[in-house]
A = this chain, B = another copy of it.
Amino acid sequence: MKIAIAGAGAMGSRFGVKLQAAGNDVTLIDNWTDHVAAINANGLIVTRDDGKDQVYPMTALAPNDVTTTFDLVILFTKTMQMDQMLTDLHDVLANHPAVLTLANGIGNVETIEKHVPRSQIVVGTTVWSSGLVGPGHIKVTGTGSISLQAVAPASFSNLGDIISTLNAAGLKASPADDVMAAIWKKAGLNSVLNTYCTLLDCNIGEFGALPNWRELNDAVLDEFQAVAAAAKITFSASAVTTLIAAQFSPETNGGHYPSMHQDMANHRPTEIDFLNGYVARLGKQLGVPAPHNAILAQLIHSQEALVTAKD
């Protein structure tokens, strides 16, 4: 299969390597010029679980330099860079590739729909992970899986081909029954742990040790549930709360600072508008107020402005 990885950071690069090793024709597409140059000059360096480096010759391009067509575009940009990436790939998308997103955050389908017909969009969640060491260099740990679904299943015929291709590359893909429920579940978890750990500058275990973590948790998730119900999406605040509580122990994720905390510490924009901020906006549209999520999104934006002001 001819595959583009649009957004070839840590995760996109890991997927690209595995798909190319399985015999696909893979192009990495990214805006980071040092990263693109390093991959083309030296190949992609992958530091594995055992600490050993392996080098994979790969093709990398800036979005505006892409001229070929693809069967499948896998979007791995950050959610807030997705719209710009899709704009840059306008000509590529005119050739009707399937477009798969596994990005965190809600609202990605709405963004993609502005550029691609619903009938070509596949959406999913993944628990694969990966870290970026530097330009042209990633570090991978553990394994993962993918759960995915066509946005318009009746008009999308080749989901089986995509799943087979991903599985041939060892990516452990399976069809989802209700991928929107899975996306909202993950977004609910992130809208509690990412948001509060960032705002309060604490790790997941410290959040879980707060006497009032349930009040904070419920303030977010009760509104998620009400907005999801209005949007006809399955969401259980109590199920997500159980999942969150399972992260607190040092044996799971207690010592971990969520990715948003890392983004804030590194003065990068956060994904807040596709987590709490998205639910606040959707709630407003649907007449279901989500004031807690709205002010949490505002507070994270304030924090972003304050760290940037110190740059």
Contact = CB atoms under 8 A, between A and B. Distances in A.
Nearest to A206: B306
A116 interface: no
Q: Interface centre among A199, A211, A295, by most B CB within 10 Å?
A: A295
Interface residues of A, number: 27
A110 interface: no
Contacts of A196: 302
A210 interface: yes
A216 interface: yes
Contacts of A213: 302
A168 interface: no
Given A292-B291, A292-B295, A295-B296, A302 B219 contact: no
Given A292-B291, A298-B219, A299-B216, A306 B210 contact: yes
A200 B299 contact: yes
Interface in A262-308: 291-292, 294-296, 298-299, 301-303, 305-306
A246 to B, nearest CB: 20
A200 B303 contact: yes
B199 A305 contact: no
A94 interface: no
Interface in A197-232: 199-202, 206, 209-213, 215-216, 219
A200 B295 contact: no
Given A212-B301, A301-B212, A202 B295 contact: no
Contacts of A303: 200
Nearest to A290: B291
A154 interface: no
Contacts of A239: none
Interface in A178-200: 196, 199-200
B306 A202 contact: yes
A305 B216 contact: no
A200 to B, nearest CB: 6
A213 B201 CA distance: 21
Contacts of A309: 206, 209
B291 A212 contact: no
Nearest to A201: B306
Contact of A305 (B212, B291, B299): B212
A211 B309 CA distance: 11
Interface of A: 196, 199-202, 206, 209-213, 215-216, 219, 291-292, 294-296, 298-299, 301-303, 305-306, 309
